[in-house]
Every structure is written in structure tokens, then in C-alpha cells.
Amino acid sequence: MKISPSILSADFAHLARDVQIVEKAGAQYLHIDIMDGHFVPNLTFGPNVVAALRKDSQLVFDVHLMIEHPENFVEDFAKAGANIIMVHQESTVHLHGVLQQIKKLGARAGVVINPGTPVVMIEPVLSLVDQVLVMTVNPGFGGQQFIPETVEKIVELKKLQKKLGLDFDIEVDGGINEKTAVTCQEAGANVFVAGSFIFNSENPTEKILTLKEALA
């Protein structure tokens, strides 16, 4: 089980400090949301910010690309120090190719599906990926409500995984708190992204511990 705090809800003026807080609290991953204002109606940061954070952190950088033409940017993110690079099925017509590209760059490859996208859309690439991210909200913003209908897709992925003899991680992202995390864990998820639950609180360390205890 891994906790992946999303810095989308962190204090952008004190990013390095917030990353240190979650690292000390025992998070294993750091979830970095990259948005381009096209694939989703919001903007965040690019590879330079990832490279800057890399200097001070040992966390596994879990980079979630919400951008069009991800094939044009995966190399920059790999060079910036991303450990896992995840692309949306809906964001490219070259899904298989971009996943191959990520592996070639020496990073772990992940594929992401929106709440409205069925698992069948990523079946042909499952043997290529190290991680599948099931979006439990529509991407673009932190602080949204968990969509319960997405849980069935985790169950489906878990079954497929068994059938095909694969062992990718299953991550969930959006509206995760100590209750929804457990629902997803019971369905088969093992990597948990949380943004507002951790950072929109007085005590982010305590929130990470709450999550860890609920999932232990």
C-alpha cells in the first residue's frame, strides 16, 4: 500500500516545505498533477518544477499528465526526475507508442482512465504498464466528490490482472479520504492519491497517519 499526496492542494509558495512534510510523515510517493489548459480546463506546472523538487526529495515521483500530445513531453518529464509517468487513454491516439516511449526512457509507465471511460479501452496496453490509475473524479481540480460508480472498474481490473497474469499497481485519484480509500482498497486498489484531504487541513502529517491506519 502506498500513499501519494497530491501537491495540487499544497501551498505553491512553499512547495518544497510541503513536500518535506509529507515525506517525513511517511508517504512513499508524491503525486504531481500536470495540466495544460486543453485536456483539462486548468493549468499547473511543467518539468522545471518537477526538476526543482527532485533536488530535495527521495519520494517516488508519480507524475499524472493531463495534457494533449503527451508524446511530445514525456522525455522532458523523465529527464526532470519523474519515476512513474502516467498518460490518459483519452489524451492521445498513440497510447501504445507513448507507453513504449516512457519505458524506453527508463521510467515506469502508467495509463489513466476518466470516470466515463470503460476498462476495455486500456485492455490492449495492460501488459505494457506498471500502474493503472482509475480516476475517481473528473480530472482538472482538487476537492471534488468521489464518484462511487468508478469502484466497479477497480474490481474489473483486478479480475483482468489475474486472468492475464499481470501485476500492475492500481491507483485511485480524486475525493480520497479515510472512507473512500478503504472502499477502493477492498475493490483492489493499492496506491492512494489524496490532495485536499491532506493539504487542506491544519495538520497534514496527522491526515497521512489517518490514511495509513485506515488502510493498514
Strand ranges inside 144-195, DSSP E: 169-173, 191-194
Q: Which is nearer to Zn ion, 112 or 187 (CB)?
A: 112
Q: Is 30 exposed, middle or buried (0-12, 13-18, 19+ CB in 10 A)?
A: buried
Active site residue 173: yes
Shortest separation between residue 57's beta carbon and Zn ion, angstroms:
17
Among 64, 88, 108, 153, binds Zn ion (CB under 5 A): 64
Position 173 contacts Zn ion (CB under 5 A): yes
Measured CA to CA, the distance from residue 107 to residue 109 in angstroms comes to: 6
**3-state SS, residue 174:** coil
Position 130 contacts Zn ion (CB under 5 A): no
Crossing angle for the helix pair 15-24 and 47-54, to the nearest 10 degrees = 50
Among 70, 188, 195, 204, binds ligand DX5 (CB under 6 A): 195
Active site residue 11: no
Q: Which is nearer to ligand DX5, 100 or 144 (CB)?
A: 144
The one of Zn ion, ligand DX5, none whose footprint includes residue 80, by CB under 5 to 8 A per kind, is: none
> Residue 87 — left, alpha, or beta (φ > 0 → left; ψ -120 to 50 → alpha)?
beta
Question: What residues between 26 and 55 interact with Zn ion by CB under 5 A?
Answer: 33
- If one counts every other C-beta atom within 10 angstroms of the C-beta of residue 75, the result is 16
CB 83 within 8 A of CB 108: yes
The one of Zn ion, ligand DX5, none whose footprint includes residue 140, by CB under 5 to 8 A per kind, is: ligand DX5
Choosing from 18, 33, 36, 62, the catalytic residue is 33
Position 70 contacts ligand DX5 (CB under 6 A): no
**Contact residues: Zn ion, CB under 5 A:** 33, 64, 173
